[in-house]
Amino acid sequence: MSAPVKHADGTAGLAEAVAAATGESVFNCYQCGKCTAGCPLAEEMDLAPNQVLRLLQLGQPGMDEEVLGSLSIWLCLTCEQCSTRCPQEVDIPKITDWLRQESQRRGVANKKAKAILAFHKSFLDTIRRGGRLHEVGLITTFKLRTWRLFQDVLVAPKLLARGKLSILPHRIEGHAGVKRIFERCEAEPANPAHKGDQA
Amino acid sequence: MPRIGVFICHCGENIGATVDCAAVAQAAGRLPGVVHAVDYKYMCSDPGQSLIKEAIREKRLTGVVVGACSPRMHEPTFRRACAEAGLNPFLCEMANLREHCSWVHEKGEVTTQKAIDLVRMLVEKVKRNRPLTPIRVPITKRALVLGGGIAGIQAALDIANAGHKVVLVERDPSIGGHMAQLSETFPTLDCSQCILTPRMVEVAQHPNITLYTYSELESLDGFIGNFRATIRKKARSVDESLCTGCGACIQKCAQKKIPSEFNAGLGRRTAIYVPFPQAVPNKPVIDRARCTYYKSGRCKLCEKACPTKAIRFDQEDELVTIDVGAVVVATGYDVKPTSFFPEYGYGEYKDVITGLQFERLASASGPTLGEIRRPSDNEVPKKIVFIACAGSRDPAKGIHYCSKICCMYTAKHAMLYSHKVHDGQAYVFYMDIRAGGKMYEEFVRRAVEEDHVRYVRGRVSRIYQKDGKLIVKGVDTLLNSRPVEVEADLVVLATAMTAQPDAEELAQKLKVSYDGDKFLNEAHPKLRPVEMNTAGIFVAGACQAPKDIPETVAQASGAASKVAGMFSRDELSREPVVAVVNRQPPPVWSTCVGCFLCETACAYQAIEREEIRGRDGSLIRTIAKVNESVCQGCGTCVALCRSKSIDLQGYTNEQVYAELLAL
């Protein structure tokens, strides 16, 4: 028996959407700050993890947009220290994951997160293609997406010499299964049962 | 010849580490009159006490000095030991070598010398001690309970059920107090009236309880076990023995728009009224200040309507005097009105109300029959703001304490609102959430997690009106102190709980102490929480400090058990440290000249006049006499007596001078 979560202006708020999509209630958070205290990236974030939840809880005009446009949701490493330690058992990475999708869907992703987003996309592209990570493919597509052509090129010969980079991609045996995973995720983007990165 | 024994205690290391106890004992042994002196590690222990007892028997001691801790700590212990060995307990004195010496000085010869001096003083005193016997005081086994709220009701019922008579005095027309006004109670949300009204009825019907409503304590004299209370029964203007409580008078009353106290000003009542339908007794009173007849001399509509002719316009206040043995003070609390807050509209905004007013809005018996409708236009508020710590924890407003119950009742209010207004949103501005108590934290979390009450951590700086809305300007300190503005339809202030406006006057009437906030003081904050500094007077409920219903009831039952414990004996025994006027053989009779300065000076009315008559009954002289059961042994009369005719037993002038001259 939960009361409806409404925006200050009466429209459904992001907190409600989070609950519907992930099953997680941001109202469980009591703002102790343990998540932020343990977050390895909190210092780099524009909004600390507990503040992301706080904005969702308060739901005043502009607060939902602030969350979706924040850099924090993209900086999250999904290391899950926050949720492991949370006394109220709020699954923050799960919420963050959904916030990334929603941010993408609305086209409001933080501009500083462009490279991170490009990396995510390039990573998924190689998985889609071969069923497993192909480093050279990942690097190439990432560089083409971001035009960071010369970044880290000097380490390439060393890695090649040690056999860490293979020029040609491998294809795994169950590639068809991987393909199906992608298809299903893309068909039902908001289904909480699927936790894949939709980028 | 005096035969004094001196016993020096090390108190473990407390004294022993700073004072050379053996040296003190040796020095004491050389004092004139001392026939026995020893030191021991723990004199209060069983073997320590045995040392004293054996010495008393073997050395035929006539006085004992124990050099140890404060007499407040162990004087009763050592006196008991002496009594067990056959020595009058008042021939035992303590030299305080701990608080007065070892604890406050560095280790050294001078410190030991001071300890020796202290012992020498007491030796000189104890030589002049005389055997005394405790004073026995009879007990009137009837209790007076002041205040008919839940605290008074609980205390009265517990004492009455223990088999003792109780007089319950309530100044309002009905018992029930604030609890009768509440809608539901945290953390179980059970209905306040449903659990209270059966108790109220029980009070009215209990054979051991005499109920005086619409009455106030006029004065209280006497002392523990023997108080005399005068109670003013205010004129109800209704003959209670004739009135059947039919209510015909109320329907006819011409005055219908008087703000109802029971509804915290949100409802209206008539001039002849019963505060609420479940009132006990369910008999009306006439509010003479508001009644048309008393104002203009005409009307008497109620008298015409009354089928039993019970209206008495000429009734007068009645003074009743009752002897009681104990008093339980349970006079309750008040809350600050909204007018106390300039920044929240100075009480001028109709839709800024107090928590108590919200209770009435949420109550099924309230002015809106339990629907949440705001006072200004009777609309259902869609956005409601609760402000905790309104006045509490605000030294600038003169209130530094936490009112303790607001966190919980605010959570309850927000919850009740959410349950009643499904499309509404509740906000709570708070500083901290203090939810210590069984199921309390869980209750607050339920308001947040299940009812999605929006808690904002920060104080509200201002409320102002704009386009029919109340703009609440606050801050969210959890978001780097970002300003938060809420356009509210109704604002509820959890205003500070304060002492009753006349608490000070009452305290002075009862001669009990009170704190800077006018809350009554318990005798000890931890170990004597229901007793007061004046023996025989006990305290229960929010007149002592802000507290919730469970705590109030617990304290009331505690006070009641103290009273019942006291009443389980037929007489009290107290220390004979009282003043006495000397008596001499004829023809002097007494050195008292009968000036009675002492009578004027005595704060306890303990000085009486005694007539000395000859064998033929002729009056020889009138002299002062101390009523030893009233005397508190303060010594004021001793200091004032011009003929040095009064002395304080146990602390006679002779004893005190001897002590000082020994230095």
User: Please, what is the average pLDDT of chain B?
Assistant: 95
Q: Supply the pLDDT for residue A151.
A: 87
Here the CATH number for the domain that contains residue B353 is 3.50.50.60
Q: Supply the pLDDT for residue A194.
A: 43
All residues of chain B having their beta carbon less than 8 Å from the beta carbon of residue A4 are 422-423, 452
**3-state class (DSSP) for residue A164:** coil
What is the value of ipTM here, to two decimals?
0.76
Residue-wise pLDDT for B41-67, tens only, equals: 999 999 999 999 999 999 999 999 999
The Cα B156–Cα B142 span in angstroms is: 11
Reference B657, options B130, B131, B128; nearest CA is B128
**From the CA of A83, how many Å to the nearest CA of chain B?**
18
Predicted confidence (pLDDT) at residue A120 exceeds the cutoff of 80: yes
Mark whether B37 and B58 lie in a shared domain. Answer: yes
Task: Evaluate whether B335 touches B356 at the Cβ level (below 8 Å).
Answer: yes
Domain end position, chosen among B480, B498, B516 = B498
Mark whether B47 and B182 lie in a shared domain. Answer: no
In a domain, B113, yes or no: yes
Residues 6+ apart with CB under 8 A from B166: B142, B143, B144, B145, B156, B159, B160, B206, B208, B209, B210
Q: Do A58 and B484 touch (CB under 8 A)?
A: yes
Mark whether B392 and B509 lie in a shared domain. Answer: no
The Cα B424–Cα B346 span in angstroms is: 26
Q: What is the mean pLDDT of residues B221-226?
A: 88
Paired tokens of A92: 């923050």
Mark whether B354 and B450 lie in a shared domain. Answer: yes
The Cα B351–Cα A116 span in angstroms is: 51
Residue-wise pLDDT for B268-315, tens only, equals: 999 999 999 999 999 999 999 999 999 999 999 999 999 999 999 999
Q: What is the mean pLDDT of residues B338-364?
A: 95
Paired tokens of B192: 């306040």
Query: Which residue among A5, A8, A55 places its CB closest to the CB of B452?
Result: A5
Mark whether B42 and B111 lie in a shared domain. Answer: yes
Cα nearest neighbour of A57 on chain B:
B454
Q: Supply the pLDDT for residue A52.
A: 96
The full set of domains in chain A, from first to last, is 14-109 (1.10.1060.10), 112-187 (no CATH)
Residues 6+ apart with CB under 8 A from B7: B37, B38, B39, B40, B43, B48, B51, B52, B55, B64, B65, B66, B67, B68
Q: How confident is the model at residue B605 (pLDDT cuts 50, 70, 90)?
A: confident
Determine what percent of chain B is predicted with pLDDT higher than 70.
100
Domain range for B297: 248-305
Residue-wise pLDDT for B527-538, tens only, equals: 899 999 888 999
Q: Supply the pLDDT for residue B330.
A: 98
Residue-wise pLDDT for B425-448, tens only, equals: 999 999 999 999 999 999 999 999
How many A×B Cβ pairs under 8 Å? 42
Q: Supply the pLDDT for residue A189.
A: 56
Among chain A, residues having any CB pair with chain B shorter than 8 Å are 1-6, 8, 25, 27-28, 30-31, 50-51, 54-55, 57-60
Cα nearest neighbour of B454 on chain A:
A58
Mark whether B223 and B340 lie in a shared domain. Answer: no
Q: Do A2 and B452 touch (CB under 8 A)?
A: yes
Query: Which residue among A3, A50, A54 places its CB closest to the CB of B452?
Result: A3
Q: Do B479 and A28 touch (CB under 8 A)?
A: no
Q: What is the mean pLDDT of residues A63-82?
A: 95
Q: Supply the pLDDT for residue A11.
A: 55
Mutation target vs B (from A45, A60, A72; most B CBs, 10 A cutoff): A60
Determine what percent of chain B is predicted with pLDDT higher than 90.
92
Here the CATH number for the domain that contains residue B590 is 3.30.70.20
Among chain B, residues having any CB pair with chain A shorter than 8 Å are 418, 422-423, 425, 445, 448-452, 454, 456-457, 476, 478-480, 484, 486
Q: Supply the pLDDT for residue B30.
A: 95
Maximum C-alpha span of chain B: 96
What does each C-alpha distance from A58 to A31, A98, A122, B382, B508 come to in angstroms?
Answer: 12, 19, 36, 16, 50
In a domain, B310, yes or no: no
Number of domains in chain B: 5
Mutation target vs B (from A54, A86, A89; most B CBs, 10 A cutoff): A54
What does each C-alpha distance from A184 to A49, A180, B370 come to in angstroms?
Answer: 30, 6, 52
Mark whether B378 and B417 lie in a shared domain. Answer: yes
Mark whether B216 and B100 lie in a shared domain. Answer: no
The Cα B172–Cα B174 span in angstroms is: 5
All residues of chain A having their beta carbon less than 8 Å from the beta carbon of residue B444 are none
In a domain, B54, yes or no: yes
All residues of chain A having their beta carbon less than 8 Å from the beta carbon of residue B469 are none
Cα nearest neighbour of A27 on chain B:
B449
In a domain, B595, yes or no: yes
All residues of chain A having their beta carbon less than 8 Å from the beta carbon of residue B456 are 58
Q: Supply the pLDDT for residue A190.
A: 53
Q: Do A54 and B476 touch (CB under 8 A)?
A: yes
Cα nearest neighbour of A55 on chain B:
B479
Q: What is the mean pLDDT of residues A28-36?
A: 94
Here the CATH number for the domain that contains residue B95 is 3.40.50
Mark whether B506 and B493 lie in a shared domain. Answer: no
Q: Do A58 and B456 touch (CB under 8 A)?
A: yes
Mutation target vs B (from A1, A16, A30; most B CBs, 10 A cutoff): A30
Q: Do B451 and A60 touch (CB under 8 A)?
A: no
Q: Supply the pLDDT for residue A152.
A: 87
